């Protein structure tokens, strides 16, 4: 049976993730460490899913509950299979088979939870090669300059794969072999099941080796082959944090290259970090030192950066976002944000709106064309279209106990340095005088002025600051304009 791709149908992918990963020196299980915004296991599951199997099983043991919970979050359809006390990759695969339907037929892939750069495309090619060669087992192999630590591929006189020998079990001649076992395989389900039943722990590590399945299948007369790949990154596992960073950088290199090839300008890919789940529209420009994280979406023709971090944020078409930090925010088309803006969750900026320098927003709906241009805290607010919030305005949303909401209506104007003390509503078409502390609602067409009246006290400088330069300046000014400074009221 074939999938729409024409590739043979895949019964299951088994992702091995029961190992401990001691070299990470971490309280977090190795497979839950992240690169490109996903866990290592998340990448492995994504590749497995891309191969379109009928079933997907993840084998767990170390930190079982944490890993199982994560599997449930990233792929609720995946089966979690528990490995028992018996060690080894062979036992892990056997435990997965026990958790899968026992009448499974066809091809089963085995992959690792700690090999994050393996692609779904490579798995498709593995399945194709496996089917085309009529093999019962096909292993992905690579030629390494330094094969130390890996299992070595044993080939017969006819170049056919005869088996795999582990580093710890190998003879000096076998150690000289540079073709290594990636640990990624395709198996015929029945052959795998039968061969695993014959695998023993009779080896240097006292483990059930999955690698033994190849020699067992071959001895039973089945065809075993190798799918040699050039892209070594796809076979590389993470064992420590140095490798984590190395693979993280390579993943980022691949992601940035993919977006550039799709029509995005990335001025400095070296300092631009883009997570695997980000999407970017055509002709968008990403300036240096920018991180696009989580499920961030950047619209076509938008300009983001420099020095910007967007996480789970949507940027509309043609918007400009400069030197900004944003989390779970929505920035409308043609809007401008920054420099030095901080958009917190629930910020929604309308089309052609503006959030300017040193402005912090949270749970704030800012209408189309509305402007919050300078030095503002805007929390728990709804701002109507075309409204203008003056420099230094503070939306005082917290009374020390609870948060309250503020509304500023369409085309209203809040003068600079005002405090809007929530809950308060400023209607459409209203004004707030600069420097006001607004505690009561303002109706349409009204201006609210809520500040002390100005009082000018004549002669104060001469009386209280006599002999200072200020007093001299006042006296000189009075000589030129005898009336100046004499009025009591403005
Ligand atoms: C294994 C292969 C080796 C190959 C190498 C590639 C065997 C016997 N050896 O070696 O030929 O070159 O991978 O990286 O298979 N795991 C379990 N349960 C276990 C043991 C391991 O789920 O009991 C999982 C680990 O979480 C990991 C993967 O299997 O994802 C590989 O385990 P690891 O210990 O790294 O295998 P190696 O001994 O390095
Ligand atoms: Ca390993």
Q: Give the 3-state DSSP-derived string for 177-245, with helices as H, strands as E and coil as C.
A: CCEEEEEEEEEEHHHHHHHHHHCCCCCCCCCCCCCHHHHHHHHCCCCEEEEECCCHHHHCCCCCHHHHH
Q: Is the CB of 209 inside a 6 Å radius of any atom of ligand 1?
A: yes
Q: Is the CB of 180 inside a 6 Å radius of any atom of ligand 1?
A: yes
* Residue 158 pLDDT: 86
From the candidates 62, 129, 374, 411, which is the catalytic residue?
374
Report the first-to-last Cα separation within the chain, whole angstroms. 90
DSSP H/E element including 394: strand 394-396
Query: What residues have CB less than 8 Å from 458, skipping those under 6 apart?
Result: 485, 486, 487, 488
* Residue 483 pLDDT: 64
Query: What residues have CB less than 8 Å from 439, skipping those under 6 apart?
Result: 421, 424, 450
CA-182 nearest atom, ligand 1: 6
Q: Residue 58 C-alpha to ligand 1 middle, in angstroms?
A: 14
CA-19 nearest atom, ligand 1: 26
Contact 44, 15 (CB under 8 A): yes
Neighbours of 254 (CB within 10 A): 15
Contacts 24+ apart (CB under 8 A), 441-449: 444/409
pTM of the model: 0.93
Q: Is the CB of 183 inside a 6 Å radius of any atom of ligand 1?
A: yes
Contact 11, 99 (CB under 8 A): no
* Residue 339 pLDDT: 98
How many Å apart are CA 378 and CA 365, to the nearest integer? Answer: 10
Contact 280, 264 (CB under 8 A): yes
Give CA separation, 149 vs 24, 65, 168, 169, in Å.
17, 30, 8, 11
CA-208 nearest atom, ligand 1: 8
Residue ranges of the chain whose pLDDT lies below 70: 1-8, 482-490
Encoding tokens for residue 332? 């409308």
Reduced DSSP (H G I as helix, E B as strand, rest coil) percent helix, strand, coil of the chain, to 5: 25, 30, 45
Q: Is the CB of 185 inside a 6 Å radius of any atom of ligand 1?
A: no
Contact 448, 433 (CB under 8 A): yes
Q: Residue 183 C-alpha to ligand 1 middle, in angstroms?
A: 7
CA-16 nearest atom, ligand 1: 22
* Residue 1 pLDDT: 47
How many Å apart are CA 85 and CA 252, to the nearest integer? Answer: 37
* Residue 107 pLDDT: 98
Q: Is 436 left (phi over 0), alpha (psi -120 to 50) or beta?
A: beta
Q: Go through 148-168 and write b for each residue having 16 or more CB atoms within 10 A of its CB, e for each that does not.
A: eebbbbbeeeeeebbbbbbbe
* Residue 490 pLDDT: 46
Note if the bond before 423 is cis, omega within 30 degrees. Answer: yes
Neighbours of 197 (CB within 10 A): 10
Provide the pairing of β-strand 137-143 with 53-60: unpaired
Encoding tokens for residue 42? 């998340």
* Residue 4 pLDDT: 53
Q: Is the CB of 114 inside a 6 Å radius of any atom of ligand 1?
A: yes
Backbone angles phi, psi at 237, to 5 degrees: -95, 160
Ligand nearest to the CA of 113: 1
Dihedral of CA atoms 174, 177, 179, 184 in degrees, nearest 10, equals 20
Q: Residue 482 C-alpha to ligand 1 middle, in angstroms?
A: 94
* Residue 3 pLDDT: 52
Give CA separation, 383 vs 32, 53, 267, 404, in Å.
41, 49, 35, 14
Ligand nearest to the CA of 89: 1
How many Å apart are CA 464 and CA 368, to the nearest integer? Answer: 52
Query: What residues have CB less than 8 Å from 261, skipping those under 6 apart?
Result: none
Contact 259, 266 (CB under 8 A): yes
Is 374 an annotated catalytic residue? yes
Across-strand partners of 161? 155
């Amino acid at each position: 049976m074939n999938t729409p791709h024409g590739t043979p149908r895949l019964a299951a992918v088994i992702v091995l993730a029961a190992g401990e990963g001691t070299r990470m020196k971490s309280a977090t299980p190795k497979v839950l460490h992240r690169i490109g915004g996903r866990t290592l296991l998340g990448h492995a599951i994504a590749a497995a899913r891309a191969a379109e199997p009928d079933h997907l099983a993840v084998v767990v043991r170390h930190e079982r509950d944490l890993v199982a919970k994560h599997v449930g979050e990233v792929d609720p359809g995946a089966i979690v299979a528990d490995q028992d006390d018996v060690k080894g990759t062979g036992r892990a695969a056997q435990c997965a088979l026990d958790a899968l339907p026992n009448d499974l037929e066809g091809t089963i892939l085995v992959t690792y939870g700690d090999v994050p750069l393996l692609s779904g495309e490579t798995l498709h090619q593995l399945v194709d090669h496996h089917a085309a060669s009529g093999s019962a087992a096909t292993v992905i192999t690579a030629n390494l300059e330094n094969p130390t630590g890996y299992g070595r591929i044993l080939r017969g006189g006819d170049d056919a794969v005869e088996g795999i020998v582990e580093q710890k079990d190998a003879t000096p001649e076998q150690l000289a072999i540079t073709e290594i076992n990636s640990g990624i395989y395709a198996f015929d389900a029945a052959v795998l099941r039968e061969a695993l039943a014959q695998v023993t722990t009779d080896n240097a590590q006292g483990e059930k080796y999955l690698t033994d399945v190849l020699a067992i299948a071959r001895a039973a007369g089945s065809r075993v082959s190798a799918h040699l790949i050039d892209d070594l990154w796809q076979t590389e596992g993470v064992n420590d944090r140095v490798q984590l960073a190395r693979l993280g950088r390579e993943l980022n290199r691949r992601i940035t290259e993919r977006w550039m090839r799709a029509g995005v300008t990335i001025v400095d890919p070296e300092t631009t970090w883009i997570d695997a789940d980000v999407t970017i529209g055509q002709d968008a420009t990403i300036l240096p030192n920018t991180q696009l994280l989580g499920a961030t979406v950047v619209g076509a023709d938008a300009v983001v950066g420099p020095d910007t971090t967007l996480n789970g944020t949507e940027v509309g078409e043609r918007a400009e976002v400069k030197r900004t930090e944003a989390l779970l925010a929505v920035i409308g088309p043609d809007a401008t944000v920054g420099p030095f803006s901080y958009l917190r969750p629930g910020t929604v900026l309308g089309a052609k709106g503006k959030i300017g320098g040193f402005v912090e927003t949270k749970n704030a709906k800012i209408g189309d064309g509305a402007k919050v241009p300078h030095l503002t805290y805007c929390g728990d607010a709804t701002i109507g279209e075309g409204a203008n919030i003056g420099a230094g305005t503070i939306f005082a949303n917290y009374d020390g106990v609870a948060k309250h909401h503020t509304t500023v209506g369409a085309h209203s104007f809040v003068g600079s340095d005002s405090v809007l003390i929530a809950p308060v509503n400023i209607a459409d078409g209203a004004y707030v005088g600069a420097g006001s502390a607004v505690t009561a609602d303002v109706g349409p067409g009204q201006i609210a002025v809520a500040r002390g009246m100005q009082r000018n006290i004549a002669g104060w400088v001469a009386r209280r600051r006599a002999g200072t330069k200020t007093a001299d300046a006042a006296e000189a000014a009075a000589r030129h304009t005898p009336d100046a400074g004499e009025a009591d009221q403005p």
